[in-house]
Each structure stands twice: as C-alpha cells, then as structure tokens.
Chains A and B, each alone.
Chain A
Amino acid sequence: MYAPPIQRLITELGKLPGVGARTAQRLAMHILRASPQDAAALAEAIREVKERIGLCEVCFNFADEPRCRICADERRDAGVICVVEEAGDVIPVERTHEFRGRYHVLGGALSPIDGVDPGDLKIGELYRRVSDPAEPIREVVLATNSTTTGEATALHIADTLRERSPDVVVTRLASGLPVGGDLEYADEVTLGKAFAGRRRL
C-alpha cells in the first residue's frame, strides 16, 4: 500500500509501547509532513541517545557518564539503596522527594514463564554492593512493582539478603499502591506515602 520506506517507518513506530497500527500511521504521516530540519532533529536525538547514554556502572540506571548523576552526587546517602525493576521507575520515586539514598536497577523482575531467573537480573550485583565494606549499607528498600512478579522478586531478594547480610535492614514499600500496580503509573502522593510508611521485611 505504501512505498517501502514509509512502510518501514510505520513498522518501526508500531513497535513503540502503546502505539497501535493506526497511531503508527498517524505518526508516520506527521513525520512525512514535517520540515526536513524537524525530522532530522528527531532522527539525531534518537541516534544520540543510543550513542551517549549507557548504564551506570554502579546502579544500572541510565547514565551519560560511567556513573549516573545520582551515584555521582556526594550529597546522596550512600547507606540506603532503593531497588527498582526498571530505570524508568527511578523518576517517579525521585519526584516524591521522600528518598535521598541511591538506587539499584534490576532490569526486570523474576518471571519463570518468560525465562527470567535471578541470574538474568542485576541481583548478584546488588548483593556485591550490599556486602562491599568500602561503602557500608544500612538499608535496602525493595520498590519493585506490586505485581506477582514484582512481589516474588522482592521476596527472593529479601530472603537472600537476610542470609548473606543479616545486619542490613530490608524494607518494602507500604501497601497502598494499587494491587498489580506499576510504580511508573503511581501518583506522587501515593508513592510518597508508600515510601514514608515502608515496613520491615
């Protein structure tokens, strides 16, 4: 129906989350109508983000240097780690201003159905961080989503930390997050309250 380059653009846009076939077409038409400068700026932004942004060597958050801004920030409390599933979950937690520690991004949640085992997540890296004597950790806050996979991930990490690092306090966000809810979609007030009322596991 479309010339091959247009079809390819529609196919690529359609891979974006929340973009169906129709929206992909609309976006493609918009890009076709746009000025060459605007279209080039979009292409350049995509290229640059992939080239310049990597993962933080400490916490696996997005970073444009070896360490992300939060790990590089000396004012943050290095003794508390907030564990989240995805890098995208850091932003909503930051927005609550309840948390002044650092993060650890797992890169997903345990899901045997999808073949995701502990070894496929940055869980080993978390244990190493927690037991590193150079930077003693007092508390690990498990802020994985309140879905089945998020809960199992939190339980698994809590169990292991209790064994390996019994002195570290492990907490879980207070319930109050919608059941089955993603951190990403929780509003600031709810998430802030969940943080303030976190309970010990």
Chain B
Amino acid sequence: MFATRLRLRDFRSYERTDVALGAGLTVVHGSNGAGKTNLLEALYFGCTGRSCRTSNEREVVRFDAATTRVEVDLRDADGRAHELAVGFTPGDAKRLQADGVLVDRLVDVEMRPLVCVFMPDRLELVKGPPALRRSHIDHVIAASWPARSATRRSYGRALAQRNALLAGIRSGRSSRDSLPAWDAELARHGIALRDDRAAAIELLAPRFSTLAGALGLGAGAELRYRPRSRAADAQQLAAELAQRTDSDLDRGFTGHGPHRDDLALLRDGRELRSYGSQGEQRLALLALLLAEREALAEARSTVPLMLLDDVMSELDPDRRAMLAELLRGAGQSVVTTTDLAHVPGAAGAGVTRLAVAGGAVLQDAAAAA
C-alpha cells in the first residue's frame, strides 16, 4: 500500500494543492518557512486523521479558513486505487472517509497505510522519560497485532482501579478485602502486556542493531527491554504486588508492574539517552523507526510509509549517504530538507523532488511520471 497523490484544501499554509508522490523516495525541499513540514503533516493527517505535530488541531486549518480537507489517493499491492479523506472544522467532529464511506476512526480502516514519523522533537523518545518509550512500544504492538491493543487499555483500567482502592484503604473508606482480587486482575493484564512488549522488542532488537550499524552507529548498538517484573506468570506477579502492599499504601499508588517498564537504547552497554551525542541519538531514533518499518512490514505484510522531517541536519555526509541509501532501498518515504544537496542521490532517477515555496508546491517535471 502506498500513497500516490495528496490533495489539500486550506491546510496550514496551503490553500489548494494537489501533488503526485513517488512510489519510493520523495524529497520535499525549500527554504525555512516554505511549507515543507506542513506538507508532511498533511500527509500524516490524511492517513491517520490526526496531526503528528500538535494536539491543538485547530492550528492545522489555514488562517482565515473555516474548514480544512485532506485527501490521500492510495494504491494497494494488487494495484487497486483507494482514497482516504479527512474533513475538519474546529469544534465539529471530523469527517473521516475511506473509499467514500464515513468511518469513526481511520485506525480501524483495514486498507489505511501504516505511518512511521521522524520529527526532530521525537528525539525525546531517545532522550526523554521511560513513559514515552512505553507508550511508543505499545503503539508498535497495536500496529503489529491490532487485537492486542486492548491489553494496554485493560491494564490501564485495572491499574486505575487498584490505585483508587489504595486511596480508599488509606482514607479508611474501603476495606482491604477486595485487594487480592484487584492484584490478580492487574497481574493478569500485566503479564499479557509484558509478554506483548517482550515479543515486540524481540522482533525489533536484531533489526535495530543491524540498521544502527548500517547508519554508522557502530556494531555495539542494542535495543533492550527492561521489564519491572520478571515474574513467571500472573500468579507470581500478583504475589509480588501483594508483597508490596504496605509501601503502595504509603505512597498511595501501585509502584510495581509494567507501568514502570523501560526500553533501553544502548551502545556498547551504555545508555544513549545519557551518553549519546546529538547525532548518535538521532541515528538511534532512525534505526528504531526503520526497524519498526521492517517489523511491521513482516507482521502486516505492508511496508509502512516513512515521513522524515528535517532528518539530514546534524548528520555528517557519510551518515547522510547511509540513510539515503536505506530510504531508497525499500518502501515509500518522504523526506524534507532545506538543501537538496543534503540528500545524497536526490537528483537520481526514481526519486521524486518537490520544490516548495510560499505554501505552494512546484512539482518537479520528472515527478509526474
């Protein structure tokens, strides 16, 4: 599944735009403020119904416009055409359509393309707190095995219930009688969540090491799961929870379980979040996203669309060449850059170039093919 065209109306700086995308690598280039990131965001918006840039989605509607609309044409593995469309008027529910049919959520649409995004602020995934990495890996789980996306939600619900009960016991409103039942229920989902995460990381880890090597991060790059609990089964995890009841009651919340897991990105055994340089952290994030693309391609037999914003800055010429080669190698990707020369091979055949200026796309003649 890949995107063939993107049509925008009143999205960010674009009034009306219709662009053809390449089946392989597309390079969006232009000066600062030209509208490159806006175009990438629009593609994400059209594929997912959400912004990858802001949680205040009214920002995406062009100044002075009331409504925005994004349409994405797609072609599936059998060559059949599909269309996704997102219409959005701030204050109203979004109008999401798949092949002309209104749907509640695009994530439920079978034919929608999976999307992996690199944005400079996503470096937080490498540098930031563990919660970001947990929720990221849980997204990978949901994308790889849609049926398992319920596990995180169930775990979250059981955790909230147990914490509410702890608060009730602390304040003397509730008795401890039902605590073992909530321990058992929390442990049941906790073990399921931990096993899902372990399985996802097992898929990603070897690919991560290989890709990190190919991106010039050296041979010692490693992705490792750091589960909070090593319990063999739900019963054992429930016992671990029971052992910690007193300290949980002191604190007022549950201190043990997969909501305290972490995912470590290491090089030669050391945390990249603490010891990695800017460029190394960037490469690690790219290796992680590319590993996910490969893993998802295998699990869902469709190669996710890669959206990479401003990825080449801060990389040296050798690393740029390595990344460009990986991107040209397989699947569809869209890269933005202020300078076409920062994407080695961008001038070559099979690469689509889109020059952007003042909220308009000046399509490269060769791209229309």
Contacts and interface: CB of A to CB of B under 8 A. Distances in A.
Q: Please say whether chains A and B are actual partners in one complex.
A: yes
Interface in A86-138: 110-113, 115, 117-119
A153 B165 CA distance: 13
Contacts of B189: 148
A118 B161 contact: no
Given A115-B173, A148-B158, A153 B164 contact: no
A113 B158 CA distance: 10
B65 interface: no
A16 B177 CA distance: 34
Contacts, number: 61
Contact of B177 (A111, A113, A118): A118
Interface in A147-197: 148-149, 151-153, 155-156, 159-160, 179-180
B185 A155 contact: yes
A180 B150 contact: yes
Contacts of A113: 160-161, 164
Interface in B155-210: 157-158, 160-162, 164-165, 167-168, 173-175, 177-178, 180-182, 184-185, 188-189
B154 interface: yes
A9 B43 CA distance: 47
Classify the interface of chain B: helix, strand, loop or mixed. helix
A148 B157 contact: yes
B185 A152 contact: yes
A148 B161 contact: yes
Nearest to B178: A156
B168 A115 contact: yes
Given A148-B185, A155-B184, A156-B181, A117 B168 contact: yes
Given A148-B154, A148-B158, A148-B185, A156 B164 contact: no
A159 B173 CA distance: 22
Classify the interface of chain A: helix, strand, loop or mixed. helix
Contacts of A148: 154, 157-158, 161, 185, 189
Given A115-B173, A152-B158, A180-B150, A110 B168 contact: no
A157 to B, nearest CB: 8
Contacts of A179: 150, 154
Number of chain B interface residues as a range: 20 to 34
Contacts of A115: 168, 173
Contacts of B161: 110-113, 148-149, 152
Interface string A56-80: 0000000000000000000000000
A180 B182 CA distance: 16
A157 B44 CA distance: 48
The interface centre, meaning the residue of B164, B168, B185, B189 with most chain A CB atoms within 10 A of its CB, is: B185
Interface in B69-84: none
A111 B163 CA distance: 11
B150 A155 contact: no
Contacts of A118: 175, 177-178
Nearest to A113: B164
Given A112-B164, A115-B168, A117-B168, A159 B174 contact: no
Interface of A: 110-113, 115, 117-119, 148-149, 151-153, 155-156, 159-160, 179-180
15 contacts: A112-B167, A115-B168, A148-B154, A148-B161, A148-B185, A148-B189, A151-B185, A151-B188, A152-B161, A152-B178, A155-B181, A155-B185, A156-B177, A160-B177, A180-B150
Given A112-B168, A117-B178, A152-B178, 16 more contacts: A110-B178, A110-B182, A112-B167, A112-B174, A113-B164, A117-B168, A117-B173, A118-B175, A148-B157, A151-B188, A152-B158, A152-B184, A153-B181, A155-B181, A179-B150, A180-B150
